[in-house]
Amino acid sequence: MEKKRIQEVGTILLLLIVVGYTTFSGLNDQEEYLSFFSPDQNFKVLVLRNKSIFGGMPGQAGDNSGTVRLIDKKGYLLQEARVEMVSMIEKVEWQPHLVSIKFVADWVLP
């Protein structure tokens, strides 16, 4: 009888581990929300949106937090910043040696 109880508890624990992993393993997953290329195509600002576990209401995808990255044409990460709402990023201003993202960052280009 005791052995059967141990097996039941083990099965329940295994089930909880599997459900927990499949539910929360995507917490740090991000997906591309927007991208902006420099006029000379040498740089890209990539806006990544954090995926929500529970989804969201239609039209609220931009309310998620995320990351903004400056990437060169070889794919190297040059700069990175966290944002509370990816919808704050509406445009990127490119200058010869500077990229400006309103409310987020001003990054010097190499």
Structure tokens at 81: 């910043």
Quick check: is 14 in a domain? no
Range of the domain at 46: 27-108
Quick check: is 74 in a domain? yes
Strands 77-83 and 66-72: what pairing? antiparallel
CB atoms within 10 A of CB 72: 14
Quick check: is 91 in a domain? yes
Quick check: is 12 in a domain? no
Query: Considering its fold, how many domains does the chain have in total?
Result: 1
pLDDT at 3: 75
Give the global pTM. 0.69
Quick check: is 81 in a domain? yes
pLDDT at 95: 96
Per-residue pLDDT of the chain (110 residues; tens, 9 = 90+): 687 777 777 777 777 776 665 455 445 589 999 999 999 999 999 999 998 765 555 555 557 899 999 999 999 999 999 999 999 999 999 999 999 999 899 999 99
Quick check: is 65 in a domain? yes
